Amino acid sequence: MARGGENHGSISCFTCQNRDRTEWCALSPDELKRFDRAKTVRDFAPGEPIYHQGDPSHGVYCIESGLVGLRKIGADGSSTLLGLGFPTNTLGYRALLAGEEHLAGAEALKPTTLCFIEAGTVRDLLDHNPALGVQFLERAARELGEAEEKYYQSVTLNVRQRLIHLLLILRERYGSGQRNGGVTLELPLARQDIAAMIGTRPETLARTLKKMEEDGVAKFKGRRVDIPDAGKLLGEIEGDAWL
Amino acid sequence: MARGGENHGSISCFTCQNRDRTEWCALSPDELKRFDRAKTVRDFAPGEPIYHQGDPSHGVYCIESGLVGLRKIGADGSSTLLGLGFPTNTLGYRALLAGEEHLAGAEALKPTTLCFIEAGTVRDLLDHNPALGVQFLERAARELGEAEEKYYQSVTLNVRQRLIHLLLILRERYGSGQRNGGVTLELPLARQDIAAMIGTRPETLARTLKKMEEDGVAKFKGRRVDIPDAGKLLGEIEGDAWL
DNA sequence: CGCCAGGTTGATTTCGCTCAAGCAATGTGG
DNA sequence: CCACATTGCTTGAGCGAAATCAACCTGGCG
């Protein structure tokens, strides 16, 4: 188990590149000052837990950089990734606002830096700045739509189609186009975690990857994926509502 | 196709029994007056559509009485029920807040009365009353949790377990306890729709029901269900996080 | 070098879907 | 009132997708 770094006070919300793409863009300069003073910055190594499934919410976590996974462990020990957290995303707000426990645990999947803001501070800001509430409301509404869509896909699509959907989402962040119309991407996830993301087993995933290689729609070498013709991938899932 | 009733002005928000269990409890008397004047009341017969999948959101619908289903139709014509709307629930707020189309269509499953509030009015109230936003925020956070849980169950549980979860939810509203510790419930749904709720086919559902009867855990006569020992049902899904 | 976690492969089984037919219950028109 | 479509539900047979169980690679890494 790798150890993550400790606090480092070097990061300021005022210089944060992400800020205007987060909910916190609604804060006034005064509020931002308060927010900046109240926050705690912390680094996490891959695999390191951020909070645990079943914990009450102590506050929210704003992702500065890296990648985090929301993992739910079943009674039988099986693990499912309910979602990913990217930079600019705020984690843990759901449990805080609903007054519930965390449904899933959060852990770093890549070296990650995030800012923790204590529950009381969040609630206080929320009480005094309606615009912040609106930001979170819009965010919650969007995520609710995504969650419903994910459910719908899980009951209507097979493993191969679900995998393709995941690849297309990851392409937006980790993909790089190529001259010939193809795409290459460096996956941020291990096989096990890809399986956990689409709700299947590693064995089934391996077989699906192999079949896709045989069909010539993608090539998988370690975490590198080559997609010669993205259109062919899209063709396999056409008919789906796409966002 | 049965025709629903027309507008009837007889219902007032001031005498509405449900009001303090809805988001609109946050409205001031003044705002409520405005809300009451702006609303449109309408009856729907079973099967009648309220709004359609893919429509932009024109406003929200507050369920006064009855039952509504949120149905998503696939490219192949298959239908999935993404959720149910009970009295006191407000429908259509997600699409409005996220600025998206309706992911699913809404239709009455039982004779239903609901109040429509036009988008502009909702936005206006939201802008002037932060407490209303907080109400919707809490609601969205709760529903987000439910949606994630539903997704999780769809990838980890089999048909029988998903059916049991549904029965336990319906028991809360349609169940009546019996002297001997058993429960009887009158399902508000046809077989097809029960199947659509748990993401399976009617044939599979029929087989599952039969097996459960053979196992003596429940008896299904039409829409009436008899559960001699609720503990036995709970036993089959124990280990799950329960709310 | 040996160990171990992660990944792949193979054999088998289970679950749920598809297709097809049969069977009430309900409705409709003659 | 009866012949008959229609619709919703059940049953059966066969198939296919994915889980399971088990073995075997592979590439770090102490």
Read off the pLDDT of residues B177-235 as tens digits, 9 standing for 90 and up.
777 778 999 999 999 999 999 999 999 999 999 999 999 999 999 999 999 999 999 99
Confidence (pLDDT) at A238? 80
> In the numeric block, which tokens belong to residue B77?
């014509």
Q: Is the pLDDT of residue B7 over 60?
A: no
Which band of pLDDT confidence, cut at 50, 70 and 90, is reported for residue A178?
A: confident
What is the per-residue pLDDT across A120-138, written as a single tens digit (0 to 9) for each?
999 999 999 999 999 999 9
- Contacting A residues, span 31-50, partner chain B, CB-CB under 8 Å: none
Residue A134 gets the label, from left (phi > 0), alpha (psi -120 to 50) or beta, of: alpha
Buried b (16+ CB within 10 A) or exposed e, B199-228: bbeeeebeebbeebeeeebbeeeeeebebb
- Decide if A133 and B138 are in contact by the 8 Å CB cutoff: no
Q: How far is the CA of B211 from the C1' of D2 (A)?
A: 38
SS3 B120: helix
Q: How far is the CA of B60 from the C1' of D26 (A)?
A: 57
Q: Is the pLDDT of residue A144 over 80?
A: yes
Which uninterrupted H or E stretch holds B225? strand B224-227
How many angstroms separate the CA atoms of A66 and A114, rounded? 8
- For residues B112-125, give the mean pLDDT: 96
- Decide if A94 and B145 are in contact by the 8 Å CB cutoff: yes
CA of A179, closest CA in chain B: separation in Å? 34
Q: How far is the CA of B64 from the C1' of C28 (A)?
A: 35
CB A41 within 8 A of CB A113: yes
Q: Is the pLDDT of residue B63 over 90?
A: yes
Confidence (pLDDT) at B166? 98
**Four-CA torsion B179, B183, B186, B190, nearest 10 degrees:** -160
The pTM for the full model equals: 0.93
Compare A178 and B225 and report the one with higher pLDDT. Answer: B225
Q: Is the pLDDT of residue B240 over 80?
A: no
SS3 B45: coil
CB A140 within 8 A of CB B141: yes
Which band of pLDDT confidence, cut at 50, 70 and 90, is reported for residue B5?
A: very low
- Decide if B151 and A150 are in contact by the 8 Å CB cutoff: yes
Q: Is the pLDDT of residue B36 over 70?
A: yes
Confidence (pLDDT) at A240? 60
Q: Is the pLDDT of residue B88 over 80?
A: yes
Best residue of B148, B237, B238, B242 to probe chain A, by most A CBs closer than 10 Å = B148
Confidence (pLDDT) at A152? 98
B234 in contact with chain A, both atoms CB, cutoff 8 A? no
Nearest residue in chain A measured CA to CA from B151: A151
- For residues A224-238, give the mean pLDDT: 92
Question: Can you tell me which residue has its alpha carbon closest to the C1' of nucleotide D27?
Answer: A222
How many angstroms separate the CA atoms of B83 and B199, rounded? 11
SS3 B199: coil
* Paired residues of A68 in beta bridges: A85, A108
- For residues B163-188, give the mean pLDDT: 91
B235 in contact with chain A, both atoms CB, cutoff 8 A? no
Nearest-by-Cβ selection for B134 from A74, A83, A133: A133
On average, the pLDDT of chain B sits at 92
Confidence (pLDDT) at A5? 44
- Decide if B154 and A151 are in contact by the 8 Å CB cutoff: yes
How many angstroms separate the CA atoms of B51 and B113, rounded? 14
Q: Which chain B residues are within 8 Å of A93, Cβ to Cβ?
A: 141
Q: Is the pLDDT of residue A2 over 50?
A: no
A97 in contact with chain B, both atoms CB, cutoff 8 A? yes
How many angstroms separate the CA atoms of A225 and A221, rounded? 6
Nearest-by-Cβ selection for B74 from A83, A156, A200: A156
B201 in contact with chain A, both atoms CB, cutoff 8 A? no
CB B35 within 8 A of CB B27: yes
Question: Can you tell me which residue has its alpha carbon closest to the C1' of nucleotide D18?
Answer: A204
Q: Is the pLDDT of residue A38 over 70?
A: yes
Q: Is the pLDDT of residue A3 over 80?
A: no
A78 in contact with chain B, both atoms CB, cutoff 8 A? yes
Which of A175-184, B49-58, B68-77, B131-140 shows the lowest mean pLDDT across its residues?
A: A175-184
- For residues B28-56, give the mean pLDDT: 94
Compare B1 and A194 and report the one with higher pLDDT. Answer: A194
What is the per-residue pLDDT across A41-56, written as a single tens digit (0 to 9) for each?
999 999 999 999 999 9
Confidence (pLDDT) at B9? 54
Protein residues contacting strand D, judged by Cβ under 7 Å: A 158-160, 199-201, 203-204, 208; B 190-192, 202-203, 205-207, 209-210, 220
Q: Is the pLDDT of residue B76 over 60?
A: yes
- For residues A145-163, give the mean pLDDT: 97
